[in-house]
Amino acid sequence: MGDKRYIRDAVHGDIILPDDISRIIDTRSFQRLRYIQQLATCHYAFPSATHSRFSHSIGVYHLATRLVADLNERYPERISEQDSRLVPIAALLHDIGHPPFSHMFETPEIFATYADHEEWGRKIILCEECDLSSVLHDLLGEGIHRLLEIMEGSVGIPPFLHEIVSSQLDADRLDYLMRDQFVTGADVGGFDLERLMRAINISEDDHLVVSSESVSAVEAYLVTRWHMYQLVYFHKLTMLTSVYYVRALARARELHENGSLPLSLKMRDLLSNRSLTTYRYSQLTDPFVIADVFQWADHGDAILSGYAKRLSSRDEFHKQLRVELTAQQVEEIWQPLQKIVVGHGYDGEHDLIHAPLRKEGYLPYTEGILLEDGRDITEVSPLIQSISVTYAKSMVFVPAELRSECEELVMQFLDSIDS
């Protein structure tokens, strides 16, 4: 089998990497993930949340390896020798295509060549210029195509192979919930990983299912996930700084393309290169974005420098209105709020910020975790049913000195609706 490498992981303890996995990890394409933070701007609220897609991906590989070994023991001959090797590699590479700042930059507002991270991941795996591709071809040969089929959940692949990597209860979610809770220090109770792993079975129709006596373990997992979204992923500072970054880069593109802002090569690739190659994409990381944004704090354009100064100094942040509003209510009150902001000499577009969690709201759980008898877990768990409603919350931010006046206006508006 060759040499093994041991990695000491803060969450899982010792992780063993066989020689072929080390070869994949040692490529430039994979090492790039060291320089992409898992939680984007979450460190503005939780200073220790600076872990990377690199450590997360290795954790997902570890959990997928354990799960495949356990399933092989309990279901002999259901997983071929080839698939037993490919599934952990698929888990290892599930985030290989992430852009700088992860999901935050997965938007056409940033990229001139927008595609989601799964699409870029496929391109990197197949790109002859990228060193990962040559290593995978050397290790897997034609098996690289089955690797992609497992990652994508293609027709003809037993569904549970893909579900180990991507589903409502997969190695990815198990790792990021444990890792993100650990590094943020969010005390949300947690879940029993060992019990949950033992509860996962393969159904006769080739799906992952959980044993009916383990419903409470799944409940703890989903409640942890619900709390992490409420307290960490949707924290007001995370949401606000995400808006600052996206708007700063959108403004930079506008200034660059009208000739008033020179950009570094990598920033041009990100914002304005409409024929960006996969190899050039695979060179993009967080640090160059941070460096350029910090530099823009001294630019003459007030809009660009305004966002950049806030991100580089954490000063003059907008304040969230302490009134809960739906997206529809925000739309109805928007013009009166703009009137207040503009009336005090602020910019009606850039100093009044709406940060909806998602346009359609966030669903902590959608159907997909099945029991052995085929029922969705919500059918037997009132607890899961109660947290499976849409969580739609709109955050509105205004200049600090205007918060009280804006809140008063909003309260009057809500009172008029109630009456």
Q: Is the pLDDT of residue 144 over 80?
A: yes
The pLDDT assigned to 180 comes to 97
Sheet with 370-371: strands ordered across: 200-202, 208-210, 370-371
The pLDDT assigned to 62 comes to 98
Percent of the chain whose predicted confidence (pLDDT) is above 70: 97
Q: In total, how many domains does the chain have?
A: 1
Mean pLDDT calculated for residue range 277-286: 97
Is 203 a member of any domain? no
pLDDT in tens, 197-237: 999 999 999 999 999 999 999 999 999 999 998 899 999 99
Is 112 a member of any domain? yes
Q: What does the alpha-carbon distance between residue 246 and residue 244 come to, in Å, rounded to a whole number?
A: 6
Q: Is the pLDDT of residue 129 over 60?
A: yes
- Which domain range does residue 115 map to? 4-185
The pLDDT assigned to 358 comes to 61
The pLDDT assigned to 361 comes to 57
| 117 belongs to the catalytic site | yes
Mean pLDDT calculated for residue range 344-367: 80
Helix (H/G/I), strand (E/B), else coil: 102: helix
**Lowest-confidence region among 174-183, 381-390, 399-408:** 381-390
Q: Strand 208-210 to strand 370-371: parallel, antiparallel, or no bridges (unpaired)? A: parallel
Q: Is the pLDDT of residue 60 over 90?
A: yes
Q: Read off the pTM.
A: 0.94
pLDDT in tens, 152-196: 999 999 999 999 999 999 999 999 999 999 999 998 888 999 999
Structure tokens at 314: 């954490």
Q: Is the pLDDT of residue 51 over 80?
A: yes
Is 409 a member of any domain? no
Nearest by Cα to 136 from 223, 43, 25, 212:
25
Q: Is the pLDDT of residue 362 over 80?
A: no
Distance of CA 179 to the CA centre of its chain: 13
Is 191 a member of any domain? no
Mean pLDDT calculated for residue range 12-31: 97
The pLDDT assigned to 315 comes to 86
The pLDDT assigned to 326 comes to 85
State the catalytic residue, choosing from 43, 51, 94, 117. Answer: 117
DSSP secondary structure of 119-143: HHHHHHHH-TTSHHHHHHHHHHTTH
pLDDT in tens, 324-336: 888 889 999 999 9
Is 132 a member of any domain? yes
The pLDDT assigned to 357 comes to 67
The pLDDT assigned to 3 comes to 78
Q: Is the pLDDT of residue 2 over 70?
A: no
The pLDDT assigned to 388 comes to 83
Mean pLDDT calculated for residue range 268-276: 95
Mean pLDDT calculated for residue range 310-325: 93
Q: What does the alpha-carbon distance between residue 254 and residue 251 come to, in Å, rounded to a whole number?
A: 5
Phi-psi region of 73 (alpha: psi -120 to 50; beta: other; left: phi over 0): alpha
Is 380 a member of any domain? no
- Across the chain, mean pLDDT equals 94
Is 357 a member of any domain? no
The CATH number assigned to the domain holding 145 equals 1.10.3210.10
Helices in 75-191 by DSSP H: which ranges? 81-92, 117-126, 131-140, 143-152, 159-165, 171-184
Is 261 a member of any domain? no
Q: Is the pLDDT of residue 359 over 60?
A: no
